[in-house]
């Protein structure tokens, strides 16, 4: 089945982008900021929080990194002017991490300063394992410089994550916990679904017991139920955590969580780099690839 999923993904990559686009756009606000604003306003009207994610990573020039910084600054300004309940998610390779770490540090500092001026928050997203150390190092440096409006992400499928969490809980870090999506070797990443689930719950319990603010980011019913159980057993107030989901994914589950009185935040991606983002999401969920290919075959 694993081989079949790979073949399906290869087949999808051969489909012209313009045919994939209508389906991919179910999970992306659009290419422009105005479209993201429209989506976030609709989510806020339904008592959901949002995080705006500007698509694009692995920039190759200083100019691209600075341009990404300006786009993110504009997002924060727009969120403030429009009165939206949304924060910002960034990827460090988008800000020049692989070009010059000093450049990346300065770009992120400027974004955090803008966000702090608006009383807003920035989440540093986690990318592939080649930059896990540098991502956590930069986060710690920013905290040491006095920034309190910043948080990180931990990927439960990485074998190192338990040790990373043990360090993070010492400062009660604002942490987003995810399964992980990047393809990593078995030597550093868990591959078994149940092992990943088990590690996710183990890390979640560690974070909640340490009274860290945790973003429980999952679309997995089993993990959602595990989160409910921990919250109930620890008698956690609603402002001690939140659930998070991606835009366009499992709306029924999202609404059920919200109806039970839990905070729900939706990640809202937008931007010109929608195709590469979509391919990663389709890789995460091969069943989605099947639906897309079937829809295209029926349509044509």
Q: What is the pLDDT along the chain (300 residues), one digit of tens a residue?
A: 466 656 666 666 676 777 777 777 888 999 999 999 999 999 999 999 999 999 988 899 999 999 999 999 999 999 999 999 999 999 999 999 999 999 999 999 999 999 999 999 999 999 999 999 999 999 999 999 999 999 999 999 999 999 999 999 999 999 999 999 888 999 999 999 999 999 999 999 999 999 999 999 999 999 999 999 999 999 999 999 999 999 988 999 999 999 999 999 999 999 988 777 777 666 666 655 555 565 555 554
Residue 184 lies in a domain: no
* Options 176, 197, 254, 263, the catalytic residue: 176
Distance CA 80, CA 227 (A): 32
In a domain, 2, yes or no: no
Question: Do the domain assignments include residue 277?
Answer: yes
At 275 the pLDDT is: 77
| CB-based contact 300:293 (threshold 8 Å) | no
Q: Is-catalytic flag, 74? A: no
CATH classification of the domain holding 266: 3.20.20.220
Residue 174 and residue 162: Cα distance in Å, rounded? 16
pLDDT score at 183: 84
Residue 267, domain extent = 19-179+189-205+212-299
Say what the pLDDT of residue 57 is.
Answer: 85
* Distance between CA atoms of residues 74 and 68, nearest Å: 10
On whether residue 4 sits in a domain, the answer given is no
- Whether 10 is in a domain gets the answer no
Annotation says 128 is catalytic: no
Is there a contact between 246 and 7 (Cβ–Cβ < 8 Å)? no
Decide if 97 is inside a domain. yes
Task: Provide the pLDDT for residue 300.
Answer: 47
Pairwise CA distance, residues 60 & 120, whole Å: 28
Angle at 100 between CA 96 and CA 106, to 5 degrees: 70
267 occurs within a structural domain: yes
Identified catalytic residue from 53, 69, 125, 265: 125
- Radius of gyration of the chain measured on its C-alpha atoms: 19
Strand pairing report for 150-155 and 175-178:
parallel
In a domain, 14, yes or no: no
Quote the pLDDT of residue 23. Answer: 74
> In total, how many domains does the chain have?
1
- Supply the pLDDT for residue 224: 98
Q: What is the pTM of this model?
A: 0.90
Handedness of CA 91, 94, 99, 101 (dihedral sign): negative
């Amino acid at each position: 089945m694993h081989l079949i999923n790979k073949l399906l993904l290869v087949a999808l990559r051969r489909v012209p982008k313009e045919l994939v686009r209508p389906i991919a756009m179910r999970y992306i606000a659009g290419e422009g900021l105005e479209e993201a604003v429209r989506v976030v306003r609709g989510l806020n009207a339904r008592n959901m929080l949002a995080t705006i994610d500007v698509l694009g990573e692995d920039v190759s020039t200083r100019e691209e990194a600075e341009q990404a910084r300006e786009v993110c600054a504009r997002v924060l300004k727009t969120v403030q002017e429009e009165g939206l309940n949304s924060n910002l998610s960034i990827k460090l390779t988008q800000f020049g991490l692989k070009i010059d770490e000093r450049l990346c540090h300065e770009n992120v500092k400027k974004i955090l300063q803008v966000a702090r001026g608006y009383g807003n928050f920035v989440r540093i997203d986690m990318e592939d394992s080649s930059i896990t150390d540098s991502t956590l190092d930069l986060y710690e440096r920013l905290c040491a410089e006095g920034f309190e409006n910043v948080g990180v992400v931990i990927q439960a499928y990485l074998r190192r994550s338990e040790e990373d969490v043990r360090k993070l809980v010492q400062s009660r870090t604002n942490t987003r916990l995810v399964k992980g999506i990047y393809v990593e070797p078995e030597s550093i990443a868990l591959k078994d679904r149940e092992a990943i689930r088990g590690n996710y719950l183990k890390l979640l319990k560690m974070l909640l017991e340490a009274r860290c603010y945790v973003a429980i980011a999952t679309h997995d019913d089993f993990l959602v139920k595990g989160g409910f159980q921990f919250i109930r057993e620890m008698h956690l107030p609603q402002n001690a955590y939140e659930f998070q989901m991606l835009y366009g994914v499992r709306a029924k589950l999202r609404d059920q969580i919200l109806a039970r009185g839990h905070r729900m935040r939706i990640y809202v991606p937008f931007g010109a780099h929608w195709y590469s983002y979509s391919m990663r999401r389709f890789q995460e969920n091969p069943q989605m690839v099947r639906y897309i290919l079937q829809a295209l075959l029926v349509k044509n």
